Amino acid sequence: MNRTPSLVVALLVAPLALVLLWAFHEALTQPSGARLADLAETSLSRTGVGNPVTAVLLSYRGYDTMLELGVLLAALLGIWSLGRVSPGFHPPELALTAMVAWVVPLLILTAGYLLWAGAERPGGAFQGGALLGAAGVILRLTGERRLGLPSERAQRRLAIAGIGAFLAVGLGTAAAGLGFLAYPESWSKWLILLIETATTLAVGMTLAAAYPGGPPGPAGNERDAP
């Protein structure tokens, strides 16, 4: 790695950074006021959830989140399509295997809490899903070949659970004449909770399955080093 290209690139990137800083400074001085903050706050009561971030994620910009789950699904399908993968070769440390016994249930419990809390206090589907995924990764590190993941059929159903729930609710409200993803005010809390639960499971399973890579099929029962 000779020095010259990195210097040249640095000389190019530095002025770009300065320009961006200047533009950012200008942007801050523009009279955009509190941007969308006040608007989001005032209509929070009509979304049926207390946590504004969850309201934006699930209600105001639900379509964005649906497509984002699509991105996650595309990544997972891409990883699955790449075919069989040679397993990693590093023996699990003793402390890790001992720790698994209580860390995994704790992770699952916290994930459940985050999911439930997401409506009113900081938390939410993605954070919960991440913890579930983390539980899977830890299992994988301690040699559990199939990361505690269910059969292929179940994995495929779980993978599309989140986006499926979104789509079902969306098409349902559209069919009911309200407009795509326009939750009726009285139901919106439960609809959001339904979607969030499905999303948590989907994100958890997707992240766990994406970690080792390889197709969703049963990875045989040989119990080798992770």
Partner 1 sequence: MDSLALAVALPLLAALLATVWPARATLLGLLGALATAAAALMVITEVWEHGQLSTALGGWDIPLGIALAADGLSAALLAMTALVGLAISLYAAAYFDGRQAMHFWPLWLLLWTALNGLFLAGDLFNLYVTLELLGLSAVALGALGGDRAAVAASLRYLLVSLLGSISYLLGVVLLYTAHGSLDLARVAAALQPGPVAAAAMTLMIGGLTMKAALFPLHFWLPPAHASAPAPVSAALSALVVKAAVYLILRLWLDLFAPLVTTGAAMLLGGLGAAAVIWGSWRALHAERLKLLAAYSTVAQIGYLFLFPPLFQATPPGPGRDDLLAALVLMILTHGFAKSALFLAVGVIQKRSGHDRIAELGGTAQRLPATTFTLGLAGIALIGLPPSGSFTGKWLLLNGAFASGQWGWILVILTGTLMTAAYVFRVLSRAFNLEPTPPGFVTDARTELPALLLAAIAAIGLGLAAAPLWPLLGGGEDGT
Partner 2 sequence: MTELLFGGAGILLFAMGLWSFLVHEPLLRKLIAFNVMGSGVFHILVAISERGALRPDPVPHALVLTGIVVAVSATALALALDRRLDDEDPDG
Partner 3 sequence: MAVLILVFDLILVATLLGLALAALTSREPSRAATLFIAFGIWLSLVWARLQAPDLALAEAAIGAGFGGALMLAAARRTAHRATRGRGDEETEPDEAHPP
Which residues contact partner 3 by CB under 8 A? Answer: 1, 51, 53-54, 88-90, 114, 122-124, 126-127, 130-131, 133-134, 137, 207, 210-211
Sort 73 into a burial class: Cβ within 10 Å, 0-12 / 13-18 / 19+. middle
92 binds partner 1 (CB under 8 A): no
What is the separation of C-alpha 210 from the centre of its chain, rounded to a whole number of angstroms?
12
Q: What's the length of the chain?
A: 226
Helix ranges, the chain (H) = 3-29, 37-42, 52-55, 62-81, 94-117, 125-141, 152-159, 161-175, 188-210
Site string for partner 2, 105-124 (x = CB under 8 A): -------------------x
Residue 122 near residue 194 (C-beta atoms within 8 A): no
Query: Using CB distances below 5 to 8 A depending on partner kind, what does residue 183 bind out of partner 3, partner 2, partner 1, none?
Result: partner 1
Q: Which is nearer to partner 2, 74 or 176 (CB)?
A: 74
Site string for partner 2, 160-199 (x = CB under 8 A): ----------------------------------------
Residue 118 near residue 57 (C-beta atoms within 8 A): no
Smallest Cα–Cα separation from 223: which of 35, 31, 87? 87
Q: Which residues bind partner 2 (CB under 8 A)?
A: 1, 5-6, 9-10, 13-14, 16-17, 20-21, 24-25, 28, 34-37, 40-41, 52-53, 55-57, 60-61, 64-65, 68, 71-72, 74-76, 78-79, 82-83, 85-86, 124, 126, 203, 207, 210-211, 213
